[in-house]
Amino acid sequence: MSGAIETWFARKGWKPLAFQTAAWDAYYEGESGLLAVPTGSGKTYAATLAAIAEGLPKNKLSILYLTPLRALARDISLSLQEALDALAPGHKVETRTGDTSSHKKAKQLTRVPSVMVTTPESLAVLLCQKDSAEMFSQLKLVVADEWHELLGTKRGVFTELLLARLRFLRPTLRTWALSATIGNLDDALRSAVGEGREGRMIRGDHKRPVDIEVIVPKGGEWIPWGGHLGLYCLEEVLEYLDPADATILFTNTRNQAERWYQALSIIKEEWGDKLALHHGSLHSKERERVETGVKDGSIRIVVATSSLDLGVDFPAVDKVFQIGSPKNVARMVQRAGRTRHRPGERSRLFFVPSQLLECAEIEAVRAAINEGQVESRPLLDRPFDVLAQHLVTLACEQGFTHREAFREVKSATSYRNIETREFDWVLDFLEKGGGALGAYPEYRKIKLDEEGVFRVAAPRITRLHKMNLGTIHENADMEVRFLRGGKIGRMEENYLSRLEPGDRFYFAGRSLELVRLDEKGAIVKRAKAAPDTMPAWQGGRMPLSETLCAELRPLLASYAVNAPYGLSRLLVQQRERSAVPKDTEVLLEAFKSKDGSHLFVYPFEGRLVHEALAALFAYRLARHDRNTFSISVNEYGFELLSSKEIDFPSLFRDRLLSSEGVDEDILSSLNHTELEKRQFREIARIGGLLYTRYPGKKKTMRQLQSSAALLFEVIRDHDPANLLLAQARREVLETQFQLVRLQNALERMRASKFLWQKLEAPSPFSFALMLERLSTRISTESLKDRVERMRAEWLK
């Protein structure tokens, strides 16, 4: 059978790669599995050609290709059509995404294509459609692309459940996932094929060497010891930039991207439209313009955030820059990979440190790549919001029985541990609201019919459900447009609502002045003067990865006098004033200044873990000796500052590091209600407590406006046992404080030697922390007390 493929390949002048042949063989053996190969290496054909060459029935959907990136759907369908024309002439591939017209979507239901390229969200909507089960009656293969991107996210869990449903409809279905290299490919495989099934792992990753060049200031100037922008190095970077070379400059935050774009467009005015900016807050039209420009070569140099990491499939570029902390290994490999024209070729990355210690980070990246270390993407554990949404999807058209649905859900790896009690709660939540008897008398999302099948309670529920499907939640944002018309993009509402008319800010590379805010967003005009404020987007909180931190600690300790990039100067001073910890040590510094007593701790565990550790230490210290600490953190450590003089070393006891009660202590130390409330927004939307999109009848729907914060309060007050509240708390701990990583860090610290240093003057490490002071307070007072205390301050 694969003879046909070989003939076609030979005609095209191609040779099947080993992993492609392996994948085809596995398919013919009836297997499902995971293909772990880099992007752009022929994985689409590896996953689909066997099924195509085998022969396809007429007018039946045989192959479903799921991509999380709808921008890629077109390119994928073009290459699949080419394969169909050669191997199964007369068969069609069609795309079905949010961009597909409703006319075309309707047509696809009667004139079914043989191959469909779609997104998980569009597939879910399809399942809500009348007679959808019939549509999948001949389905033989589902391919889930970019599985590494989905893994460990709610969208991934959402997709797992969809795969479980398709397997339920078609027990002989084969599912193949495609993934880049990640640290936990076993989990990726397991979740791709579902519980209780054997899957085949096929790896096609040839070594991917990466050349990294660090750009340092000329003339022996120092790389700054603090800061996040990297603009001090602008002149040096300019020497490497030339519109003749297609170039991407990646930054970590939108703010940084705006600033670099601004600087470049001022200095290199002559580049004009060859220079562009790309980040997630720009209007989608603008982003598409830039993407097309990069593809067709009219745009030569792009300053971008991670918005360009994904979803944009364009030919390899000549140069890639990383400005600021690399954050994690996988991302650097992927970004550098943009310069690779052919499989096996070396890829190349220019690194611009925004502060000196990042030079050590990039060396740690180098070491990790050499050792083949890369980050894992741990699976989520049974999120109830995604399950609730999925069950409504099933109830819309197909209906489900308790027994079958429970078995089906449990076959999705992320729900393998779900208990009957929890599943029943979710059902009850959909049927009766989940609370005490009669707590929600008029509510009903699904109901049980006479045959014991759960179905949606009313057509209006189906309508709203379909519009609000999915798990992708964007931060609340507002449109930014000119007074004279013309949209510029979208910005976070949070930021915009804090501006006063007349305030000037950079956005989309322009200096703008706020005229006013209205119900649709912000109205602006071009500012005559330079901005006085800078958008602070919520992004940029991504911490240094665990993998990278594990490389960084021994690396720093190993640096002696001849460390690269002037790192020695910093390390020599650090040793003179304090010490540089070994991998088996934790450095603690105590310092007294006119601000009070400082404690600096350097676990090198990334900023989120440090935030949690700092809160934990402050809480545990203050429990014995009432006190208030202000806290500051960075990727390397954290600081506790007490205005009251205290002797930190004498207070430091083992129980500070105890793992016992970590959850409760962290939650008690912070204003966790606020954090949970914020986390609840996403849960409420996914779990169907909140609609963000309404059908035409705007007026009626205005009755349903509410904020997640309000819902959170009402449910907490009247239905405290609601499992979605518990989920919000768990997610705060897991995502905001990386609880698992925190526990690992505590364990490592307990096993380490404490290296106490009393400082006469700030050490270089502590200096960076003092530069970043962010204040977090610890409050256990009641609402009234808080207002009274604030009032006392107003009246001063």
Partner 1 sequence: MAEVRVDIAGEEIWLMPERTAYWPRLGWLICADLHWGKAETFQHWGLPVPSAVLEKDLARLSSAIAQTGATKIVVIGDLVHARVGLSEGVRERVANFFKAVNVPMLLIRGNHDRALREIPAGWVMEIIEGSLDEGPFRFRHDDGPSGGLFQWLGHLHPLWVTKGAGDRLRLPCFWIQERALTLPAFSAFTAGQVVKAGLRDRIFLPVEDAVLEAPGARKGRRASRSLPPAEKRT
By CB under 8 A, name the binding residues for partner 1.
Answer: 429, 433-435, 438-445, 457-458, 460-461, 464-465, 497-501, 516-519, 688-691, 700, 703-707, 710-711, 713-715, 717-719, 775, 777, 779, 782-784, 786-795
CA distance 49 to 80: 9
Of how many residues is the chain composed? 796
Q: Nearest approach, Cβ of 496 to partner 1 (angstroms)?
A: 10
Q: Which DSSP helix (H) or strand (E) runs through 173?
A: none
Per-residue tokens: 751: 């096993």
Minimal distance, residue 465 CB to partner 1, in Å: 8
Instruction: Give the nearest distance from C-beta 86 to partner 1 in angstroms.
Output: 48
* Closer of 87 and 461 to partner 1 (Cβ): 461
In the bound state with partner 1, the residue whose beta carbon lies nearer, of 497 and 538, is 497
Would you say 449 or 788 has its CB closer to partner 1? 788
CA of residue 73 relative to chain centroid, distance: 21
Which CB, 566 or 596, lies closer to partner 1? 596
Query: What's the min distance (Å) between Cβ of 478 and partner 1?
Result: 11
Based on CB atoms, which residue is closest to partner 1, 244 or 792? 792
CA distance 223 to 565: 8
- Separation CA 139–CA 484 (nearest Å): 52
Q: How far is the CB of 703 from partner 1 (least distance, A)?
A: 4
The string over 726-746, giving b where at least 16 C-beta atoms fall within 10 Å of a residue's C-beta and e elsewhere, is ebbbbbbbbebbbbebbebbb
b vs e for 504-538, b when ≥16 Cβ sit within 10 Å of the residue's Cβ?
bbbbbbbbbbbeebeeebbbbeebeeebeeebebe
* Alpha-carbon span 547 to 364, nearest angstrom: 9
Closest separation in Å from C-beta 398 to partner 1: 18
CA distance 229 to 260: 8
Q: Where are the beta strands (DSSP E) in 300-387?
A: 301-304, 319-323, 347-352
User: Which residue, 142 or 446, has its beta carbon nearer to partner 1?
Assistant: 446
In the complex, the smallest distance separating the C-beta of residue 592 from partner 1, rounded to whole angstroms, is: 23
Packing angle, helices 120-127 and 384-396, rounded to 10 = 40
Q: At its nearest, how many Å lie between partner 1 and the CB of residue 517?
A: 5
CB of 712 to partner 1, least distance (A): 11
Residue with tokens 């191609």: 14
Cα separation of 359 and 353, whole Å?
6
Using CA atoms, how far apart are residues 429 and 689, in angstroms rounded to an integer?
10
Of 442 and 451, nearer to partner 1 (C-beta) is 442
Residue 209, classified by CB atoms within 10 Å of its CB into exposed (0-12), middle (13-18) or buried (19+), is middle
Residue 102 vs 703, nearer CB to partner 1: 703
As given in the structure block, the two tokens for residue 722 are: 């609601």
Nearer to partner 1, 177 or 631 (CB): 631
CB of 793 to partner 1, least distance (A): 4
Give whichever of 390 and 445 is closer to partner 1, judged by the CB atom.
445
Task: Measure the CA angle with vertex 694, ends 692 and 697; round to 5°.
Answer: 150
Q: Which is nearer to partner 1, 333 or 430 (CB)?
A: 430
Helices 18-28 and 2-12, interaxial angle, to 10°? 150
Contacts (Cβ under 8 Å, ≥6 apart) of 582 = 554, 557
Say which DSSP state 223 is in.
Answer: P
CB of 425 to partner 1, least distance (A): 12
Q: How far is the CB of 719 from partner 1 (least distance, A)?
A: 5
What's the min distance (Å) between Cβ of 516 and partner 1? 7
The set of residues, in sequence order, having a beta carbon less than 8 Å from that of 660 and lying 6+ positions away, is none
Residue 33's H or E segment, with its range, is strand 33-36
CB of 441 to partner 1, least distance (A): 5
Under DSSP, is residue 331 helix (H, G, I), strand (E, B) or coil? helix
Shortest CB 102 distance to partner 1, Å: 23
Closest CB to partner 1 among 231 and 709? 709
Q: What is the dihedral of CA 108, 114, 118, 121, to 10 degrees?
A: 60
150/388 with CB nearer partner 1: 388
Q: How far is CA 149 from the centre of its chain?
A: 8
Which residue number, 198 or 442, has a Cβ lying nearer to partner 1?
442
Q: Check: CB of residue 388 under 8 Å from CB of residue 428.
A: no
Task: Rank residues 187 and 611 by Cβ distance to partner 1 and give the closer one.
Answer: 611
DSSP 600-644: EEE--S-HHHHHHHHHHHHHHHHHHS---EEEEE-SS-EEEEESS
